[in-house]
Amino acid sequence: MRHLARALALTALALGWSVDAGAQPGQAARPATPSEITIGSTPVGPVFADAEGYTLYVTRRDTDPDVSTCFDACASVWPPVRASVGAEPFGEWSLVQRKDGAPQWAYRGRPLYRYRWEEETDWAIGQGNLWLFATVDPFPERSPRRRSSYLRTAARQTRFAVEAAPPGIVAETTPLGLALADARGMPLYVAPAGCEPGCGGSWTPLRAPAAAVPVGDWSVVAREDGRPQWAYKGQPLYRCAADVLAGEANCVAEGGRIVEAPPVSRSVSEP
């Protein structure tokens, strides 16, 4: 099946620069695209893709048309789709002016991004709470007025209880899978190699209470300053400052590694 999907995707890539003349009766014609963007065939259907065939995404954080909110650590994980020199907007395609370099392509006002950790073309794994596949039909439209309620609902639906864990520890859905997180849904990380001991900068130790006791795979380690810190399977855990909203995993771009959650049985919101 994967070989068939790839063959179909290559055909889509070849036709992606123009309206799909081979659309079947009853199917919407595929839109024309800039030269940097193609249309790929994936398990989730036709999606906008970059010139190499990697699936593109939009984010719910971009609530204003033609304005990107993804920079620095975010842009390291979700690189913007840059326009070539001399590119001009046309049809429903527009250009987003960025403070960090060349303009970025947007479709129907939504800036487009690639997912750094998606290692295969004609594939699609990056959708989560905040990031959506840039499907061709229907294209995910902006709904800024619903953003806050969406985030609250998404957190309830994608957060799960973890057995044999310290109070407040949950499993949160991230673009990289189900990960251990704090009570706010912020992923927990193993710090980059060479960071221990005394990690600082973006990394905040997951502090343990003075009277904390080990539970399951969780233990308590003493930091250089003598303060206790939670560790999971012997590895001290951290939060990262680049994660702003629940379910993000921006700090893998800084060398951190999210911690895969153990099997879960129920949503946190369930009684």
Q: Within 13 A of 182's CA, how many CA atoms are on the CB side?
A: 19
- The SS3 assignment for 42 reads strand
Positive or negative, the Cα torsion across 189, 99, 128, 270?
A: positive
> What is the rounded CA–CA span in Å between residue 122 and residue 56?
10
Over the stretch 42-61, which tens digit does the pLDDT of each residue have? 887 899 999 999 999 998 88
Over the stretch 168-208, which tens digit does the pLDDT of each residue have? 999 998 877 789 999 999 999 998 776 765 566 678 899 99
Answer yes or no: are the C-beta atoms of 8 and 43 closer than 8 Å: no
> What is the rounded CA–CA span in Å between residue 203 and residue 207?
12
Over the stretch 207-225, which tens digit does the pLDDT of each residue have? 999 999 999 999 999 988 8
> What is the rounded CA–CA span in Å between residue 145 and residue 151?
12
Q: Once rounded to an integer, what is the mean pLDDT over residues 103-116?
A: 94
> What is the rounded CA–CA span in Å between residue 5 and residue 41?
7
Q: In the structure, what pLDDT confidence band is assigned to residue 101 with cuts at 50, 70 and 90?
A: confident
Q: What is the pTM of this model?
A: 0.52
